[in-house]
Amino acid sequence: MGFLVSSRDAQGLWSDFLLPVGESSGWVTGFVGSVLAGSGDDHVIRETKKAWNVFSTQNLFTSHGGWGYNLRTPEDADSTAWGIRFALSLGLEGRLRTKLAEEFLLKHQTADGGITTYILEKELRKLIGATPEENFSGWTSSHICVTAAAAGIPRFSRILLPYLLEHQLPAGNWNAYWWSDPAYATALATEAIVAKGGAEHRHAIKKTFSWAMQIFGKEPFVANDVFSEGSPFATALALKTLLLAGKIDEIREKSRAVARWLISRQREDGSWQPSALLQVPPPFMKIPVNPDSWPKGKGAAWGNVVTDHRSLFTTATVLDSLVCYQKTYPGTITPEAL
């Protein structure tokens, strides 16, 4: 928490992920702020409220009421969903700023029931220099990862859960559009489904639990092609999925081993190795395939896979999962217990 609180930029916001359009201050602030606001630490919450006071004024009167990747980019559903979750974590439901953002987010629901990232297509084309004829169906179709983030908002849970349940893969996970790791979309979808409860969702939760156990295998971490020795980002998300979908007794030893692995990888400054793999497929691509085959956009506006170079997204994700672990097994994150 100390690392995150001290890592705000000159505006008092959190910025990470360097793309051709710049770093993200809107989307990242919404995500990091929502985690810290729910930490339960009074000092941290006071500092987080300072970030909210700046963040909440963005696009309030001059645009659509949502948030964007940064101030150069048009507002989008993903950034707006995390902005709303930030507000709700601070207990600001019902406020004008929250309501405006919720109304903007609702406009992103597509015919198939999911949420698309972008509806401000004209502004988006202008930003990256695309012609009106260029195919943008990939960026304007529904996206599972964005839908899962929005489903964590109480107002949207009921209307978005059918889409998430329909798109769960046979293995039990969900694949993301903007992320290389399926762990991100899977953790968020699981969180939304578990929060809603109901016997009709037990089968989906059981499948998710099986998937999470399988990707760990015998190891206390989740590896991928980029982080063969373990990705703190993917590992933390898979841990949270286990904690949400599993029964306390059957996951006790596994989750303890994973928590120990995560804590052992924390760096001296309080952060974890940047390992959140954000991908930007070409606008025409509805289902991302091998990034090595992606064509580069004008000015490299797409075709990128980048990590959170400041480690803010990874660190907030690990923190969130460890807080979830501590709530599940109170008093267990101590040197003696681990």
- Over residues 222-246, the pLDDT tens digits come to 999 999 999 999 999 999 999 999 9
| Residue 321 CA to its chain's centroid (Å) | 12
Report d(CA 253, CA 237) in Å as an integer. Answer: 17
SS (H, E, C) 159-174: HHHHHHHHCCCCCCCC
Domain-located, residue 225: yes
Q: Are 40 and 62 in contact (CB under 8 A)?
A: no
Q: What is the CA radius of gyration of the chain?
A: 19
- Distance from first CA to last CA of the chain, Å, rounded? 20
* % of the chain with per-residue pLDDT over 90: 85
Q: CB neighbours of 229 closer than 8 A, spacing ≥ 6?
A: 221, 223
Q: What is the model's pLDDT at position 328? A: 93
Q: What is the model's pLDDT at position 336? A: 55
Q: What is the model's pLDDT at position 138? A: 96
| HSE-CB of 328 using CA atoms within 13 angstroms | 24
Burial of 211 (0-12, 13-18, 19+ CB in 10 A): buried
Local structure of 33: helix, strand or coil: helix
Please give the average per-residue pLDDT across 24-49, as a whole number: 95
Q: Are 147 and 105 in contact (CB under 8 A)?
A: no
- Is pTM beyond 0.85? Reply is yes
Q: What is the largest CA-CA distance in the chain?
A: 62
Q: What is the model's pLDDT at position 142? A: 98
Q: What is the model's pLDDT at position 292? A: 84
pLDDT 10s digits, 94-134:
899 999 999 999 999 999 999 999 999 999 999 988 888 99
Report d(CA 86, CA 278) in Å as an integer. Answer: 21
Please indicate whether residue 86 or residue 196 has the higher confidence score (pLDDT).
Answer: 86
pLDDT tier for residue 39 given thresholds of 50, 70 and 90: confident
Q: What is the model's pLDDT at position 300? A: 66
SS (H, E, C) 253-301: HHHHHHHHHHHHCCCCCCCCCCCCCEEECCCCCCCCCCHHHCCCCHHHC
SS (H, E, C) 92-126: CCCCHHHHHHHHHHHCCECCCCCEECCCCHHHHHH
Domain-located, residue 334: no
Please give the average per-residue pLDDT across 83-88, as a whole number: 98
Average pLDDT of every residue of the chain: 94
Domain-located, residue 207: yes
Domain-located, residue 92: yes
Q: What is the model's pLDDT at position 88? A: 97
74 secondary structure, DSSP code: P
Domain that holds residue 193: 2-328
Domain-located, residue 124: yes
pLDDT 10s digits, 197-209:
877 799 999 999 9
Q: Are 313 and 232 in contact (CB under 8 A)?
A: no
pLDDT tier for residue 87 given thresholds of 50, 70 and 90: very high
Q: What is the model's pLDDT at position 294? A: 87
Q: CB neighbours of 8 closer than 8 A, spacing ≥ 6?
A: 14, 51
Query: Based on the structure, what is the number of domains in the chain?
Result: 1
Phi/psi of residue 36, nearest 5 degrees: -65, -35
Domain-located, residue 73: yes
pLDDT tier for residue 337 given thresholds of 50, 70 and 90: low
pLDDT 10s digits, 178-194:
999 999 999 999 999 99
Domain-located, residue 336: no
**CATH code where residue 157 lies:** 1.50.10.20
User: Does residue 196 register a pLDDT over 90?
Assistant: no
Q: What is the model's pLDDT at position 40? A: 86
pLDDT 10s digits, 278-334:
999 999 999 998 888 888 776 667 888 999 999 999 999 999 999 999 999 987 766
Domain-located, residue 337: no
